[in-house]
Amino acid sequence: MLTIPLDGRAASPLYEQIYQYIRREIESGRLSAGKKLPSKRALSAHLKVSQSTVETAYGQLAAEGYLLARPRSGYYVQRLEAPPPVLRTESSPLPEASAAQTPPFDFSTSGVDTGRFPFSVWAKLTREILCEDARGLLQSVHPQGDPALRREIARYLRDYRGILASPDQIVVGAGSEYLLGLTVQLLGRAKGYAVENPGYPKTRRILEGNGAAVAPIGMDENGLRVDRLRRSGAEVVHVTPSHHFPLGTVMPVSRRAELLRWALEEEGRYILEDDYDSEFRFSGRPIPALQGLDPAGRVIYFNTFAKTLAPSLRIGYMVLPAPLLAVYRRDFLFYSSTVPSFEQHVLRRFLQEGYFERHLRRMRNQYKARRDILLAEFSRRDPGRKLQIQGADTGLHLLVRVCRKEEDELVSAAEANGVRVYGLSAYYQEGAAPKGKGGVVLGYAGLPPEKIGEAVFRLAAAWEL
Amino acid sequence: MLTIPLDGRAASPLYEQIYQYIRREIESGRLSAGKKLPSKRALSAHLKVSQSTVETAYGQLAAEGYLLARPRSGYYVQRLEAPPPVLRTESSPLPEASAAQTPPFDFSTSGVDTGRFPFSVWAKLTREILCEDARGLLQSVHPQGDPALRREIARYLRDYRGILASPDQIVVGAGSEYLLGLTVQLLGRAKGYAVENPGYPKTRRILEGNGAAVAPIGMDENGLRVDRLRRSGAEVVHVTPSHHFPLGTVMPVSRRAELLRWALEEEGRYILEDDYDSEFRFSGRPIPALQGLDPAGRVIYFNTFAKTLAPSLRIGYMVLPAPLLAVYRRDFLFYSSTVPSFEQHVLRRFLQEGYFERHLRRMRNQYKARRDILLAEFSRRDPGRKLQIQGADTGLHLLVRVCRKEEDELVSAAEANGVRVYGLSAYYQEGAAPKGKGGVVLGYAGLPPEKIGEAVFRLAAAWEL
């Protein structure tokens, strides 16, 4: 009979103590395989505990495979495979990825001014939705995203981006990064992919991370060079035609047409149009999206609310052309929507009730004011006209070069003066801009207007303007 | 001089009308490449509009590449590449993927009872967070997820699942599906992957969608057969040891040890432990996770809040062993978090303040009550003891076989009686269960207790019990 020391005042219940004792006996080999345990009745009488206490302990041991229950016979010790050698060391906690120390002025291109996010409106809509539609919020949403949200996005795209898309063609997902990965699954990783060079480094990493081979394609003043794209043999190309990142180039209509012709020359060619900050064009109308010129369904359009609303709101979307939509519907609907229904409902209301357009207008003015201050300050501090500024007509960053100064020098002199600017070279596949093409990228969306004057003053001193 | 018909009362502004007119002239070839346009001053005088109106139109045309602005000279028509042939047809709107018609009783395994979700608590926390931390909510969160949420998850895992993990090791993401795809990127798609057969079909599709080759591995009464896994040559295996889907098997400790030994035999072998409904074990304690037995960092643990809270809340997480964490930190931190910060903050408070554990206890009782009713009803309606029930000790579904009835017959007879049940065959790679091994899977989480009696009554009639 097992004599198990039990402690009625211990934190763990009695069945747990019995379970632990017997488990140790089995693991240590003191109770050997095949041995029959005392009956529940006998053990409970011996230990002076209830039968159900013993039963719970035996049941747990059986469930975990230490005991075998034979009907109308009893419990037997199972043969244990020798457990693997215990080498466990405490997992060495890595430090949290810490933000590098931020200088007083930072022209990061990932900054967004969330200070003007209409938080009280968002909170109000959130509260209303919590009251109205409790149950509906908890059920799975359609894998492509809430249909009502997709209708609102389709309307916005039609009115503001010249895109004719039915809500069916829209796939809402947890950010453009996720959707780009999904696209590789949709188009296949056997195709060759191409990206702009220079370009947004994440794009290449995401494509490669998803198993695609990626060719970097050079740019000229009109954007991606289609002649080089053709020579690369790639079948899918990722472009930012509305506002190239980081050069700021807007792809003119002739290059757009040339790119579309490339896509049409052969079956299976696709253009991934990333329209990431087209909303912030400061003069004239927005440039219509490439997607709107595409007659044959070869453009997949991507956009996100990260720049227009807040980076923490992980909602992006893509517009699939009809032939790809059929493939998506056949093979990919099994994926659950990656965006909580709650966010989808709030965003839907935010679009529906006109808040989004109002917010965009306000932010466009706000960002335009910053750009204007930035340009005016540069003009004022640059009496010798040594600066060359590019890409300032649209969205949230511009490119600056200084006569007879190398990029490295610009970056380090600025840093020494407390201003962080970003060398263009980081955006080149080769890790360096071609000789004489270096420069610095200034993102101004995250920099409050009142700091711009001082930042430019410091840059002018650092760069000896 | 261009004579442009302008309509001051039209919806579109004057600059837009000028822009559209000139654009059409260029596209049609009536204004040919190289031609100089009238000066802004001349055209504005001619059309009797302000100079800035003309300037806006010219600026837009230049931005889109229809005109070239030559400093101190004027605007010239750009040579247009012939645009691609216009074949645009209205995108044929596909029907929304519609739910197939649902019968009165549905034993779907994807159902979750969201009726008991503590909505008012969730709403309260949401409101509090909206008031407290407006700005913090809008900034990007750490790519692995909010550190405070990860601390809460680590605490829960330690207390309830026997898992020692530091918050650093946890990666929060938009559902297990997303995280599984990320794992393929982390481990590489060159490795062979293995899945349980039968098993959850999505797992294989996600692995294959991410470019991995997947081998199905047979099961016995203790779970995945490690001998077959060894012969398959796979290096990574996905398992559901706490409660096999769909067979309901709980992997005993000896098989767990055998599986861990397999992983340790060679470098680069990994076990993906999907602990998807371990929270709903109805007798005794939860079975400790495989991860907790792993001495060498070869188990990646996955879980989700979809089953425990609500499917619409897209929050899952994985626990990376230290060596993989180093790889993740080096190569994958560039991915943004896929979960809105808002949801992360609310969930963190929900865990922190004990609501999650309370909710789990309540749901465990609730689901246990349903399982008990289901088993009692089956027992009552099955006087001839024709039913064989498996996997009822733990979470949310069980497996039923009926003497001398084929699976197809069980499914179709039930459907004819208004009860949807799910054939086991759908979970086999081969599309059919081995002869004599067929059965039906009954998920009872989505079926209200008051409907269970009637559902079983109908099943008993359909199956001639």
- Write the pLDDT tens digit of every residue in B370-387: 999 999 999 999 998 999
pLDDT at B85 over 50: no
Instruction: Dig out the tokens for A2 from the structure.
Output: 């097992």
The reported pLDDT for the residue numbered A78 is 84
Q: Is the pLDDT of residue A109 over 60?
A: yes
Suggest the residue from B253, B271, B330, B341 to mutate for an interface test with chain A (most A CBs closer than 10 A).
B253
Span of A251-260, B258-267, B303-312 with lowest mean pLDDT: B303-312
User: Closest chain A residue to B85 measured between Cα atoms?
Assistant: A295
Q: A254 and B296: CB-CB below 8 Å?
A: no
**DSSP H helices in A210-319:** 226-232, 253-265
Cβ neighbours of residue B120 closer than 8 Å, sequence gap 6 or more: none
Which segment of A280-289, A408-417, B406-415 scores lowest on mean pLDDT?
A: A280-289
Tell me: pLDDT of B447 over 70: yes
Centroid of chain to Cα A36: 57
Among B265, B268, B266, B199, smallest CA distance to B238 is for: B199
- The answer to whether A257 contacts chain B (CB < 8 Å) is yes
Q: Does residue A73 carry a pLDDT above 90?
A: no
pLDDT tens-digit series, residues A330-388: 999 989 899 998 899 999 999 999 999 999 888 888 888 899 999 999 999 999 899 99
Average pLDDT over residues B278-289: 76
Whether residue A133 is predicted with pLDDT greater than 70 in this model: the reply is no
Nearest CA in chain A to B95: A168
Instruction: Burial-class residue B298 by CB neighbours within 10 Å (0-12, 13-18, 19+).
Output: buried
Average of per-residue pLDDT across A445-458? 91
Rg (C-alpha) for chain A, rounded Å, is 31
Which residues on adjacent β-strands are paired with residue B419? B105
Q: What is the mean pLDDT of chain A?
A: 88
Residue B81 confidence (pLDDT):
65
Q: What does the pLDDT read at residue B285?
A: 66
Q: Give the count of alpha carbons within 13 A of A82, CB side only.
A: 4
Q: What is the pLDDT of residue B348?
A: 95
Q: In this structure, are residues A168 and A315 in contact, taking their beta carbons and an 8 Å threshold?
A: no
**Across the A/B interface, how many CB contacts are shorter than 8 Å?**
316
pLDDT level of residue B86 (50, 70, 90 thresholds) = very low
Band (pLDDT 50/70/90 cuts) for residue B220 is very high
Instruction: Flag if B314 and A339 touch (Cβ within 8 Å).
Output: yes
| pLDDT winner (highest mean) among B64-78, B120-134, B224-238 | B224-238
CB burial of A356-371 (b: ≥16 within 10 Å; e: otherwise) equals: beebbeebbebbeebb
Residue A136, pLDDT score = 73
The verdict on B116 touching A (C-beta cutoff 8 Å) is: no
The larger pLDDT score, comparing residue A352 to residue B93, is at A352
Instruction: Give contacts of B65 with chain A, Cβ < 8 Å.
Output: 222, 250-256
Residues 159-178 in A contacting B (C-alpha not used; CB under 8 Å): 164-166, 168-169, 174-175, 177-178
Does the pLDDT at position B229 exceed 80?
A: yes
Which of A122, A138, A291 to mutate against chain B (most B CBs within 10 Å)? A138
Residue B114 pLDDT level (bands cut at 50, 70, 90): confident
Which residue is closest to B137 within chain A, CA to CA?
A312
- Judged against a pLDDT cut of 50, whether residue A89 lies above it is answered with no
What pLDDT does residue A303 have? 95
Averaged over A4-20, what is the pLDDT?
83
- Going by their DSSP bridges, the two strands B192-197 and B213-220 should be labelled as parallel
Question: A137, B312: Cβ pair inside 8 Å?
Answer: yes
Query: Which of A250, A315, A326 is opposite residue B63, by nearest beta carbon?
Result: A250
Kindly report the backbone phi and psi dihedral angles of residue A221, in degrees, each rounded to the nearest multiple of 5, phi listed first: -70, -10
Answer whether A312 touches B (CB < 8 Å).
Answer: yes
Nearest to A295 among B87, B168, B332 (CB): B87
pLDDT band of residue B97 (cuts 50, 70, 90) is: very low
Of B94, B264, B329, the CB nearest to A97: B329
Answer whether A93 touches B (CB < 8 Å): yes
The answer to whether the CB of A266 falls within 8 A of the CB of A223 is no
| Residue B280 touches chain A, beta carbons under 8 Å | no
- Contact at CB, A253 and B80, closer than 8 angstroms: yes
By CA distance, what is A184's nearest residue in B? B210
Whether residue A410 has pLDDT greater than 90: yes
Contact with chain B for residue A16, Cβ under 8 A? yes
Residues A319 and A292: their CA atoms lie apart, in Å, by: 11
Mean pLDDT of A450-461: 93
Percent of residues, chain A, with pLDDT higher than 70: 94
Per CB-CB distance under 8 Å, the chain B contacts of A165 are 91
Tell me if B283 and A341 make a contact (CB, 8 A cut-off): no
- The answer, yes or no, to whether residue B16 has pLDDT greater than 60, is yes
Contact assignment for A340 to B343 by CB distance below 8 Å:
yes
Is A255 close to B119, i.e. CB distance below 8 A? no
The shortest CB-CB distance from A60 to any of B139, B257, B284 is to B284
SS3 state of residue B443 = strand
CB contact under 8 A, B322 and A66: no
Q: How far is CA A270 from CA A79, A175, A287, B268, in A?
A: 59, 20, 21, 36
Contact criterion met (CB < 8 Å) for A337 and B314: yes
Q: pLDDT band for A183, please (50, 70, 90 cuts).
A: very high
Residue of B nearest to A337 (CA): B314
Is residue A72 predicted with pLDDT exceeding 50?
Answer: yes
B2 touches chain A (CB under 8 A): no
Interface residue B325 vs chain A (CB under 8 A): yes
A416 in reach of chain B (CB within 8 A): no
pLDDT at position A286, please? 67
Asked if A189 and B211 come within 8 Å (Cβ–Cβ), the reply is yes
Q: According to the model, what pLDDT value does residue A192 have?
A: 95
Question: Has residue A204 got a pLDDT over 80?
Answer: yes
Higher pLDDT, B327 or A63: B327
**How far is B43 from chain A, CA to nearest CA, in Å?**
18
Provide the pLDDT confidence category of residue B449 given band limits of 50, 70 and 90.
confident
Residue B33 gets which letter from DSSP?
T
User: Which residues of chain B have a CB within 8 Å of the CB of A251?
Assistant: 65
CB contact under 8 A, B139 and A343: no
Which one of A54, A168, A336, A390 makes the best mutation probe of the B interface by having the most chain B beta carbons within 10 Å? A336
Most confident of the ranges A40-49, A418-427, B288-297:
A418-427
**pTM for the full model?**
0.82
Q: A254 vs B79: CB contact, 8 Å cut-off?
A: yes
Is residue B247 classed exposed, middle or buried when 0-12, 13-18 and 19+ CB atoms within 10 A define those classes?
buried
> What's the rounded Cα separation, in Å, for the pair B152 and A129?
27
Q: Is B84 on the interface with A (CB under 8 A)?
A: yes
Q: What is the average pLDDT across A96-112?
A: 73
Nearest CA in chain A to B57: A284
Interface check A445 vs B, CB under 8 A: no
Residue among A19, A11, A12, A77 at smallest CA distance from A47: A19
- The per-residue pLDDT for B421 is 94
Q: Which residue has the higher pLDDT, B31 or A348?
A: A348
Confidence at residue A217, expressed as pLDDT on a 0 to 100 scale? 97
**Category of A415 on φ-ψ map: left (φ > 0), alpha (ψ -120 to 50) or beta:** alpha
Q: Assess contact for B270 and B187: CB atoms under 8 A.
A: yes
Q: Note the pLDDT of residue A354.
A: 92
Please tell me the predicted confidence (pLDDT) of residue A100: 55
How confident is the model at residue A307, as a pLDDT? Answer: 82
Q: Cβ separation of A119 and B134 shorter than 8 Å?
A: yes
Q: How close, in Å, is residue B6 to chain A by CA atoms? A: 18
Beta strands A192-197 and A419-420 are: unpaired
Question: Across all residues in chain B, what is the average pLDDT?
Answer: 88
**Which one, of B192, B171, B191, lies nearest residue B182 by Cα?**
B171
- Chain A nearest-CA residue for B294: A88
Query: Residue B31 is inside which H or E element, if any?
Result: none
Q: What is the mean pLDDT of residues B438-460?
A: 92
Show residues of chain B in contact with A289, CB under 8 Å.
none
